Amino acid sequence: MPIKEADKSYDHDKIEKKVQKFWKEEETFAKVNELREKGPRYSFLDGPPYCSGKIHLGTAWNKIIKDSYLRYKSMNGFSLRRQAGWDMHGLPIENKVEHLMGIQSKQEIEEIGIDKFVDKCREFAIENKIAMEKEFDDLGVWMDWDDPYMTLDPKYMESSWWMLKRANEQDLLLNDQRVISWCPHCGTALAAAEIEYEEKEDPSIYIKFPVTGEEDTYFLVWTTTPWTLPANLAICVNPEFDYVYVAKDGVTYIIAENLMEDVLGKRIKIHRTKIPAENEDEEDKIIEEEEVMYEIIKTVKGEDLLGLSYDYILADEIPKQMEFDSEIEKVHTILPGDHVELGEGTGLVHTAPGHGPDDFEVGHANGLPIFCPVGEDGCFTEDAGKYDGKFTKEENTQIIKDLEEKGLMYHSETIEHRYGVCWRCKTPIIYRATKQWFLKVTDIKQKMLDEIGKVEWVPKWAGEGRFYDWVDNARDWTISRQRYWGIPIPIWECPDCGELKVIGSLDELKEESLTEINVSDSELIHRPYVDEVEVKCDKCGQTIKRIPDVLDVWIDSGVAGWASLYYPEEKEKFADWFPYDFITEGHDQTRGWFYSQLGTGVIAMGQSPYQKVLMHGFVLDENGNKMSKSLGNVVAPEEVIEKYGADVLRFYLLWASKPWDDLKFVWEELLNINKMFNILWNVYVFSTTYMSLDDFNPVGLTEDDMILRSEDKWIISKANSLIKEVAEDLDKLFFHKATRKINNFILEDLSRWYVRLIRGRTWVESDDPDKLGAYYSLYTALVKLITVLCPIAPHVCEEIYENLVKGVNPEAPESIHMLDWGYDEDAIDSELEAKMDVAREVIEASIRARDMAQYKLRWPVSDITVVSEDEDVLNAIEELTDIIKDQSNTKDVLCASEFEKLSYNAKPNLKILGPKLKGDMGKVVKGLKTADGNQIKAELEENGCVTIEGIELNSEEVLFDSELPDDFVSSEFEGGNVFVNTNITLEIRQEAMARELIRRVQDMRKELDLDVEANINVDVETSAEFKDLIVPQSEVISHEVRAKSLIITDSEECNKDSKDYTKEWDIEGEKVVISIKK
């Protein structure tokens, strides 16, 4: 089968639909995997996107990086595992389902029934998964969509149970009362990774805590959370700091010295009064008066304050507080705290052990109760006395009012600051002391840090800086959530003896269960069914129940390394693929998946599950802002696909920035890439147009059969170099460099240069070996190009491949992705590539020169002279003379190290000669003006001096202006100068006029929309002079315009047919009437 002529325009929609249909029908993905099955393994793990239902450009970028890299790896012979992953549990889905069901609270969920709620969550997650799958598919992402790992899969979930069992065996599982971040809306604990920060306005109040037994003396304390004051049990000071007793307005305040002026204002106010001077000579008088605003009574160390007690400020409102006061020694006293700093506040820190991690530790160390009068709904409990039942944050105002009424408020204002909110429902978080389950990350931190060092990070700072820092600061990981849709924590706890039983698999559960189980695995491993399973305590024999919590969703994805392989229930795949050679995710995953995998990996496997990480950036809008629904600047991937197609989007995203930088999405830039694809398509159309016309068949052709010109060898060399260089870039994950090189090759080398060079050859009608050489080379370059491009733009390359390769050779692999990625080192001739660069510059310089002289390129010139002192340049010109002749439209190319036709005018160097000659200057000026510059130059070069009007001048004293002869124009290029001879001889004039005539006939052919190969009859009617000019060129003209007959006549002999297409032209002032007939 011959090569088919391609569609004239690049229709991305048609191509991509067609190719995707082909892949599906032929099961190309599976076949490609099968083909590479025996190759070396390269293991990759897909970071599971959360099943929110829609993908955004960031997710698209993420999958495109993965897909392009993996397609590349596959073409390099690697055997791959491209399993897609889905993150399907968790609060976000619960929240959406709550919405759908029209409910708002945990209480309502339990009324409806956990089973019904969980069913809805499952259904919702699966629906979303299917929708997102389709979107990834439209991008051309090749993953194993039919066999993904899903975090709701019971087999997957078992693997997370097993990890927790391993944690328990290493004593890394801990149930403890701690102060943790709490979302009052979701009614659950949150991990650090689930907290976002937003600018929020909060109260900022300075409160007077009366010093016990000292009248009108107060500790001044600052807080932004008045609602935590009901739980206040102490005040912390830093023992190292200096504190002052200050008398102001009749009372005494105790405050850190360094913060005194910030809080109380300037201690001394200076009033200046200006008395204007009476006359101008004197200066104005300024009288300064000092006013002391407050006085320092004494300065003490923080240490000296320790043990002092204060009268609790809400004693009347909260009876419970006074119980503590009487029962426990250190309640309502000053305690030491290293965490006290001098950045803000007063240096005296309100301490509520139930509401702050630091406070908690202070409380613990000093035997304070962990008093937390706030329930899981964020409302005060009855322990809060007067405030019972009120929502914490909303009660700020009331508490402030109460304090004001007691006269205990020093100052009250509001501030804007960053405050943590729940990542999904955006409710401001509160700190609460609760009992939660933890993974003791602090115990394995060192191991985690060691593992980070073993991983290869791209870019380097992602691991060494950012991630190391995060892990180094990590606290124990709160893994329990008081929710429903998640992996139930497999801990059965004995209420009597405290013994824990951690179940590691479903089989184990079934074995241990005291009752018969008659639900499916999927039901059994979720709430509420698993809640009903009772087992026997190993220690005391008591019947025990599971703790009611589910796991933090980050554990779900964290265990993907082995859970996706169903390890440890299944061992075989695990041995083949774990640990993973490569993962890539956005920089938000530093605290997310990179962390959760490393933590659980160290616990379960004693190692990091990944060995190489590419941390990529975020897609921002064109102003550099994050895309978000609230800003309304979100661009949906399908919008881009509709306009430009998946290939353009894919190429754009890999081209637009370094992968690890954030990417500004600019529509205009897409247009650019679209243009590149159009040009690629144009080259393809150009190629197939002529190749199909000539029935060109590349099958079995080798370079040895061909007569190739230098430019042919050059483009083949360039194409091979491209593959080599792109491979180096892709290996380093430098997608931005790889795409730039491809872009450059398509535009510069292939389209703007090679196609231009061979245009003339394709116009030859016969079976010319020279034309065949051009076809062969163009064909080879194109096939190399689509090979190198197809990991990035798989659709268009598959389409071209189908016609160009499969179309002519039934033996060829059925998909381009089955080709091996390779280049021919022997075909690379870097010397030739360098020479072509020189030739190109020379040609461009000569075109520039002609352009400046307004000498049309269409008109030939008799010669150009290239002047250069560089041996390499001259060699290059000699070798590529034909190309230069052709492209510069010159009959001859001369080389020289100096341009002899330059004439020189000598002139005096006034700067030197002026001071030296003074009065004689005039003689020299005149003498040099009349003398022959060339002769002076020669003399100076020979003797080093010359005598003018009896005065001897040396070479420094004479300057030269060079002058081109009238018929020459020149232009500079990197290696020298080009001089173009523009003298018009009769022969040149004849050829020029022939070209003018040809152009016009071609124009008319086009207007008639004639086939490229159609023959015509041409009649030309003109003046006798013009006829004489073009008749000698008849043969050339006929050939160029495909004329069967060419009749050129003087005006009088006119005898044309009225049916002919006739047009009257003005060529260089001559009237020319051209008629053409098919």
Partner RNA sequence: AGGCUAGUGGCACAGCUUGGUUAGCGCGCUCGGCUGAUAACCGGGAGGUCAUGGGUUCGAAUCCCAUCUAGCCUACCA
Residues 227-256 that bind RNA (CB under 7 A): 228, 236
Q: Which two tokens stand for residue 687?
A: 């190629």
* Pairwise CA distance, residues 587 & 594, whole Å: 9
554 assigned to active site: yes
> How many Cβ atoms from other residues are within 10 Å of residue 135's Cβ?
20
Q: To the nearest whole angstrom, how small is the minimum distance from the Cβ of residue 1002 to RNA?
A: 4
DSSP bridge pairs for 619: 663
Segment contacting RNA by CB under 7 A, of 20-28, 370-378, 470-478, 604-612: 470-478
Cβ-based nearer residue to RNA, 672 or 1049: 672
Segment contacting RNA by CB under 7 A, of 145-153, 469-477, 803-811, 947-955: 469-477
The catalytically annotated residue of 626, 856, 916, 929 is 626
Q: To the nearest whole angstrom, how small is the minimum distance from the Cβ of residue 192 to RNA?
A: 4
Q: Within 591-630, which residues bind RNA (CB under 7 A)?
A: 591, 618, 622-624, 626
Segment contacting RNA by CB under 7 A, of 34-42, 115-123, 457-465, 520-528: 457-465
The answer to whether the beta carbons of residues 581 and 611 sit under 8 Å apart is yes
Among 35, 126, 131, 192, binds RNA (CB under 7 A): 192
* Pairwise CA distance, residues 544 & 495, whole Å: 7
Among 242, 303, 325, 344, binds RNA (CB under 7 A): 344
Maximum CA pair distance of the chain? 132
* Pairwise CA distance, residues 898 & 976, whole Å: 10
Cβ-based nearer residue to RNA, 418 or 539: 418
Q: To the nearest whole angstrom, how small is the minimum distance from the Cβ of residue 720 to RNA?
A: 20
Among 113, 465, 769, 914, binds RNA (CB under 7 A): 465
Gap between the terminal Cα atoms of the chain:
31
Segment contacting RNA by CB under 7 A, of 30-38, 573-581, 681-689, 816-824: 681-689
Cβ-based nearer residue to RNA, 736 or 771: 736
Q: Within 694-723, which residues bind RNA (CB under 7 A)?
A: none
Q: How far is CA 669 from CA 471, 644, 673, 746, in A?
A: 38, 12, 7, 17
The catalytically annotated residue of 48, 373, 698, 791 is 48
Cβ-based nearer residue to RNA, 41 or 643: 643
107 assigned to active site: no
> How many Cβ atoms from other residues are within 10 Å of residue 417's Cβ?
14
**Residue 661 interacts with RNA (CB under 7 A): yes or no:** yes
Q: To the nearest whole angstrom, how small is the minimum distance from the Cβ of residue 591 to RNA?
A: 4
* Pairwise CA distance, residues 495 & 546, whole Å: 11
Cβ-based nearer residue to RNA, 582 or 753: 753
Among 27, 34, 216, 469, binds RNA (CB under 7 A): 469
Cβ-based nearer residue to RNA, 586 or 933: 586
**Residue 146 interacts with RNA (CB under 7 A): yes or no:** no
* Pairwise CA distance, residues 897 & 922, whole Å: 36
664 assigned to active site: no
Tokens 């706030």 belong to 374
Q: To the nearest whole angstrom, how small is the minimum distance from the Cβ of residue 462 to RNA?
A: 7
681 assigned to active site: no
Cβ-based nearer residue to RNA, 571 or 856: 856
Cβ-based nearer residue to RNA, 340 or 864: 340
DSSP 3-state of 274: strand
Q: Within 193-222, which residues bind RNA (CB under 7 A)?
A: 193, 195-197, 202, 222
Give the per-residue contact string, 58-87, with RNA (x = CB under 7 A; - = no): ------------------------------
Q: To the nearest whole angstrom, how small is the minimum distance from the Cβ of residue 553 to RNA?
A: 15
Site size with RNA, rule: CB under 7 A: 96
DSSP 3-state of 268: strand
* Pairwise CA distance, residues 316 & 294, whole Å: 32
DSSP bridge pairs for 723: none
Among 78, 470, 574, 855, binds RNA (CB under 7 A): 470
2 assigned to active site: no
The catalytically annotated residue of 61, 86, 485, 593 is 593
Q: To the nearest whole angstrom, how small is the minimum distance from the Cβ of residue 867 to RNA?
A: 15
Q: Within 398-427, which residues bind RNA (CB under 7 A)?
A: 417-420
* Pairwise CA distance, residues 179 & 429, whole Å: 12
| String of DSSP letters for 946-1014 | EEETTEEEEGGGEEEEEE--TTEEEEEETTEEEEEE----HHHHHHHHHHHHHHHHHHHHHHTT--TT-
Cβ-based nearer residue to RNA, 184 or 933: 184
Q: Which two tokens stand for residue 780?
A: 């080879």
Q: Which two tokens stand for residue 835?
A: 């020479």
Q: Within 7-46, which residues bind RNA (CB under 7 A)?
A: 8
**Distance of alpha carbon 37 from its chain centroid, rounded?**
32
**Residue 531 interacts with RNA (CB under 7 A): yes or no:** no
Number of H helices, E strands in the chain: 38, 42
The catalytically annotated residue of 38, 274, 629, 918 is 629
| String of DSSP letters for 415-472 | EEEEEEEETTT-PBPEEEEEEEEEE-HHHHHHHHHHHHHHSEEESHHIIIIIIHHHHH
Segment contacting RNA by CB under 7 A, of 125-133, 338-346, 486-494, 1024-1032: 338-346
Residue 634 corresponds to which amino acid? V
Among 664, 923, 1039, 1077, binds RNA (CB under 7 A): 664
48 assigned to active site: yes
Q: Within 1011-1040, which residues bind RNA (CB under 7 A)?
A: 1011-1012, 1014
470 assigned to active site: no
The answer to whether the beta carbons of residues 233 and 250 sit under 8 Å apart is no
| N residues, the chain | 1078
Give the per-residue contact string, 976-1015, with RNA (x = CB under 7 A; - = no): -------------------x---x--xx-xx---xxx-x-
* Pairwise CA distance, residues 637 & 651, whole Å: 13
Q: Within 746-805, which residues bind RNA (CB under 7 A)?
A: 747, 751-752, 755-756, 759, 763
Q: To the nearest whole angstrom, how small is the minimum distance from the Cβ of residue 449 to RNA?
A: 14
**Residue 262 interacts with RNA (CB under 7 A): yes or no:** no
The answer to whether the beta carbons of residues 87 and 50 sit under 8 Å apart is yes
- In 112-240 the beta strands, taken as DSSP E runs, fall at 144-150, 173-183, 188-190, 195-210, 217-223, 234-237
Cβ-based nearer residue to RNA, 311 or 358: 358
Cβ-based nearer residue to RNA, 768 or 844: 844
**Residue 657 interacts with RNA (CB under 7 A): yes or no:** yes
Q: Within 905-934, which residues bind RNA (CB under 7 A)?
A: none
* Pairwise CA distance, residues 190 & 233, whole Å: 25
Cβ-based nearer residue to RNA, 461 or 497: 461
Q: Within 471-500, which residues bind RNA (CB under 7 A)?
A: 473, 475
Q: How far is CA 810 from CA 697, 888, 1032, in A?
A: 13, 43, 50
In SS3 terms, 275-343 reads as: ECCCCCCCCCEEEEEEEECCEEEEEEEHHHHCCCEECCCCCCCCHHHHHHHHHCCCCCEEEECCCCCCC
- Dihedral Cα 796, 802, 808, 813, nearest 10 deg: 120
| String of DSSP letters for 88-140 | --SHHHHHHHHHHHT--SHHHHHHH-HHHHHHHHHHHHHHHHHHHHHHHHHTT
Q: Within 797-856, which residues bind RNA (CB under 7 A)?
A: 844, 847-848, 851, 856
Q: Within 953-972, which residues bind RNA (CB under 7 A)?
A: 972
The catalytically annotated residue of 227, 554, 577, 753 is 554
Among 148, 154, 239, 357, binds RNA (CB under 7 A): 357
Cβ-based nearer residue to RNA, 325 or 661: 661
Q: Which residues are catalytic?
A: 48, 87, 554, 589, 593, 626, 629
